[in-house]
Amino acid sequence: MKRALALCLGLLAGCAHPGPVAPNIALTDQRGSLWQLSEQRGKVVAVYFGFTHCADTCPATVAKLTTAIRAQGAKAADAEIAFVTVDPQRDTPAVLARWVARFSGATIVGLTGTPAQIEATEHAYHVWAQRLPAAHGSYDYDEAHTAIVFVIDRSGYITSMADDADTLETVTGDLRKALQ
């Protein structure tokens, strides 16, 4: 999958822009306010789809992103992480606020919406997510999902995509390029 994404970006490299235009995201942030990607022009945004009940991949990826942003020095103020939940049933604004507060070193916006809004956002980014059967009741379920970080430059173009297996150095370099 990663090679296919890299190939797509490679084919776009000959275009006038660094990649495709990022689909707009219009969801509710952790403060209960409307957040739109289209209003973030001038910033670099790392968009990651995950869920707060994740025990490993999601917190590790967000921690890697915060470290990569912090490594940008003065330019770190021009970058943020948009954490889009794939679990809107449990990830309310209040839950997202507590979860993003666990991280420091970068601006993180936790985003949620109705199931239909989340599904439409997943579809726009070609992200797959599926609820896995509950082991101990209907609220104790897990989510399987695509673990891709979309790096969106100041003009709203997707400049790179990374997954949870990419090194900190790779992610840091992707953000550095987007912040130029």
pLDDT in tens, 3-31: 444 435 444 444 455 689 999 999 999 99
DSSP assignment letter at 155: T
pLDDT at residue number 9: 46
Q: Among residues 45, 38, 19, 23, which one has the least CA distance to residue 160?
A: 19
pLDDT at residue number 14: 43
Angle of CA points 58, 171, 142, to nearest 5°: 15
What angle, 0 to 180 degrees and rounded to 10, lies between the N-to-C axes of helices 57-70 and 168-179? 50
pLDDT band at 67 (very low <50, low <70, confident <90, very high): very high
Mean pLDDT of the chain: 87
Fold assignment, 23-179: Glutaredoxin (3.40.30)
DSSP conformation letters of 86-138: S-TTT--HHHHHHHHTT--SSEEEEEE--HHHHHHHHHHTT--EEEEPPSSST
pLDDT at residue number 19: 84
> What whole-number percentage of the chain has pLDDT above 90?
69
pLDDT in tens, 122-178: 999 998 776 667 666 666 656 655 788 999 999 999 999 998 889 999 999 999 999
pLDDT at residue number 139: 62
Tell me the domain boundaries of the chain. 23-179
pLDDT at residue number 7: 39
pLDDT at residue number 121: 96
pLDDT at residue number 107: 95
